[in-house]
């Protein structure tokens, strides 16, 4: 069974080019599924039926797992059995006709322009780490990058002359994103006045470094943004993805083309980007209801 898992992991890594976070999630979901059918049902993966897998999904539901979590688990299980059929380890895919539970689409939380500005001004520009933090926040809001994309940036990925960033998105897909003059100014300031104090190895190519001189991790940046969010106070929930949502919404509110925003965000399907149009419509409706005398 471990051999099958190892072969499957190699397949989705090499042939499908899935992102590291997706690989980690698939591995975790499959281990939980295998543990369930072995301990609860006393069978192996090649003996599982449609009913077995359906029962596992109901088991997750009974444990209070979110619809999104169950959908992700089913996606991993489906991909695994598709691989087993492809390799002729089994003859029939037991996941056929199994559907994930419908997910309630929640509108993302978006900051106002004023709240974004308040957040950006919190880092202390008198310290190297403060300059780094301000630069990272500016880049996130200017480009809409995912956190994993931000912390993976190399110095060579930034073109300050032309004003763009090259990043590797989900599925190892490269995209070019405009940088904006303010973010470009802060990157130059960070490179000239802060990064050299953080770097311990002159050969280190990662753009944003921690106090050990190594590249920041996703978890490290989460702690950074949480620290500044707490300084703002109030009840607003601010995560790294909040700046990505705010980037997209503010662009659309100011007349940006939906396809252009899709490309900048690196969404494979435009329906993913369209959630921001629903959000902007809701905000317009609230403004109308609040300000029109006959609303």
Contact in structure between 264 and 144 (CB atoms under 8 Å): yes
Average pLDDT, the chain: 87
The reply to whether 2-86 and 113-290 are identical in fold is no
Secondary structure, 3-state, 188-229 = HHHHHHCHHHHCCCCCCCECCECCCCCECCHHHHHHHHHHHH
The pLDDT of residue 104: 59
pLDDT of 232 > 70? The answer is yes
pLDDT in tens, 175-184: 999 999 999 9
Any catalytic annotation for residue 65?
A: no
Q: Which of 41, 109, 185, 241 is catalytic?
A: 241
Contact in structure between 245 and 273 (CB atoms under 8 Å): no
Q: Which of 134, 244, 245, 250 is catalytic?
A: 244
Residue 109 — very low, low, confident or very high, per pLDDT cuts 50/70/90?
confident
The pLDDT of residue 286: 66
pLDDT in tens, 193-229: 999 999 989 899 999 999 999 999 999 999 999 999 9
Any catalytic annotation for residue 109?
A: no
User: CA triplet 265, 271, 277: central angle to 5 degrees?
Assistant: 75
Any catalytic annotation for residue 170?
A: yes
Residue 76 CA neighbour count, 13 Å, CB half: 23
The yes or no reply on domain 2-86 and CATH 3.90.1150.10 is: no
Tokens for 158, please give them: 């930034």
Any catalytic annotation for residue 40?
A: no
Among 156-170, 237-251, 268-282, which is the least confidently predicted range?
268-282
Q: Which residues pair with 174 in a beta bridge?
A: 168
Q: Which of 28, 148, 151 is nearest to 80 (CA)?
A: 28
Q: Which of 81, 141, 190, 276 is catalytic?
A: 276
Q: Which of 134, 146, 195, 245 is catalytic?
A: 146
Overall residue count recorded for the chain in this entry: 295
**CATH code that applies to domain 113-290:** 1.10.443.10
pLDDT of 285 > 80? The answer is no
Tokens for 289, please give them: 């209801």
The DSSP string of 27-52 is HHHHHHHHHHHHHTS---GGG--HHH
Percent of the chain with pLDDT over 70: 90
pLDDT of 166 > 90? The answer is yes
Residue 56, Cα to own-chain centre: how many angstroms? Answer: 27
The pLDDT of residue 283: 62
Any catalytic annotation for residue 244?
A: yes
Domain extent listing, the chain: 2-86, 113-290
pLDDT of 277 > 90? The answer is no
Place of tokens 């002159």: 202
Averaged over 77-103, what is the pLDDT? 86
Any catalytic annotation for residue 290?
A: no
Burial 259-280 (b: 16+ CB within 10 A, else e): eebbebbbbeeeeebebbeebb
Neighbours of 10 (CB within 10 A): 10
Residue 295 — very low, low, confident or very high, per pLDDT cuts 50/70/90?
low
């Amino acid at each position: 069974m471990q051999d099958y898992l190892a072969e499957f992991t190699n397949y989705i890594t090499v042939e499908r080019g899935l992102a590291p976070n997706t690989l980690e999630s698939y591995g975790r979901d499959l281990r939980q599924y295998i543990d369930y059918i072995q301990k609860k049902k006393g069978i192996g993966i090649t003996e599982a039926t449609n009913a077995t897998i359906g029962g596992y999904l109901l088991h997750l539901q009974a444990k209070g797992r979110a619809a999104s979590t169950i959908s992700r688990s089913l996606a991993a299980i489906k991909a695994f059995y598709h691989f087993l059929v492809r390799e002729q380890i089994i003859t029939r895919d037991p996941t056929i006709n199994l559907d994930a539970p419908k997910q309630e689409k929640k509108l993302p939380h978006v900051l106002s322009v004023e709240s974004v500005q308040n957040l950006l001004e919190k880092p202390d520009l008198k310290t190297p780490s403060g300059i780094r933090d301000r630069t990272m926040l500016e880049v996130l809001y200017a480009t809409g990058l995912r956190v994993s994309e931000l912390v993976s940036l190399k110095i060579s990925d930034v073109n300050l002359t032309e004003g763009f960033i090259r990043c590797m998105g989900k599925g190892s897909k490269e995209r070019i994103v405009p940088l904006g003059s303010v973010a470009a100014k802060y990157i130059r300031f960070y490179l000239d006045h802060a990064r050299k104090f953080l770097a311990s190895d002159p050969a280190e190519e990662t753009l944003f470094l921690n106090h050990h001189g190594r590249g920041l991790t996703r978890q490290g940046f989460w702690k950074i943004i949480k620290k500044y969010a707490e300084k703002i106070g109030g009840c607003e929930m601010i995560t790294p993805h909040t700046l990505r949502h705010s980037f997209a919404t503010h662009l659309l509110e100011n007349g940006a083309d939906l396809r252009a925003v899709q490309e900048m965000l690196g969404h494979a399907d435009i329906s993913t980007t369209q959630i921001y149009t629903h959000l902007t419509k809701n905000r317009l409706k609230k403004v109308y209801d609040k300000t029109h005398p006959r609303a």
